[in-house]
């Protein structure tokens, strides 16, 4: 027990969880103009679920991200990235991540962007477990060219460092 009388565990209870999209975020960092200038931004989560199983390494995670939620606070850049030259959000409104393996602090799965699927590994860098919820922060690096997003080579950053901060609530 902790100092408040709550039981402290390191893994969530078995069962189904919903990702609270209002309390969760996906942020990214990249560089543009030949790597000289930093760019920071966010994506919005549409929906997500987590199934915590025994053994833990067979747990599953499913996340859908609104591609058109791409935002850096720079209107012209954001509009350009949403266009057919980059994310093509009219044809591909969702970015998905489906994880099928959890080993220690590594979550392995498949990221699909613009209809192109590639394996991705997230590293969990922080987590907190409560009676009926848990939070985690995970990081990964994605190469946009692996997903066919190849416009503006040199001008737009090739790699995005992603940070996911997710709050999962036990499903009723």
At 9 the pLDDT is 54
What local confidence, expressed as pLDDT, does residue 70 receive? Answer: 95
pLDDT in tens, the chain (172 residues): 445 544 445 789 999 999 999 999 999 999 876 556 889 999 999 999 999 999 999 999 999 999 999 999 999 989 999 999 999 999 999 999 999 899 989 999 999 999 999 999 999 999 999 999 999 999 999 999 999 888 777 677 789 999 999 999 999 8
Query: Is residue 44 packed enough to be buried (19+ CB in 10 Å), middle (13-18) or exposed (0-12)?
Result: middle
Per-residue pLDDT, 153? 73
Fold of 15-170: Lipocalin (2.40.128)
DSSP β-ladder status, 37-52 and 106-113: unpaired
Domain locations along the chain:
15-170
Global pTM value: 0.88
């Amino acid at each position: 027990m902790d100092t408040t009388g709550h039981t402290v565990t390191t893994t969530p209870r078995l069962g189904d969880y919903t990702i609270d999209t209002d309390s969760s975020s996906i942020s990214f960092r990249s560089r543009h103009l030949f790597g000289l200038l930093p760019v920071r931004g966010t994506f919005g989560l549409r929906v997500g679920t987590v199934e915590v199983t025994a053994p833990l390494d067979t747990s599953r995670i499913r996340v859908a991200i609104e591609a058109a939620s791409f935002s850096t606070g720079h209107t012209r850049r954001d509009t350009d990235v949403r266009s057919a030259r980059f994310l093509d959000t009219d044809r591909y409104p969702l970015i998905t991540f489906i994880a099928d393996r959890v080993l220690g602090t590594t979550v392995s799965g498949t990221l699909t962007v613009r209809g192109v699927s590639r394996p991705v590994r997230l590293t969990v860098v922080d987590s907190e477990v409560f009676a009926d919820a848990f939070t985690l922060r995970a990081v990964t690096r994605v190469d946009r060219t692996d997903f066919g997003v190849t416009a503006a080579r040199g001008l737009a950053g090739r790699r995005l460092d992603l940070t996911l901060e997710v709050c999962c609530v036990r499903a009723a």
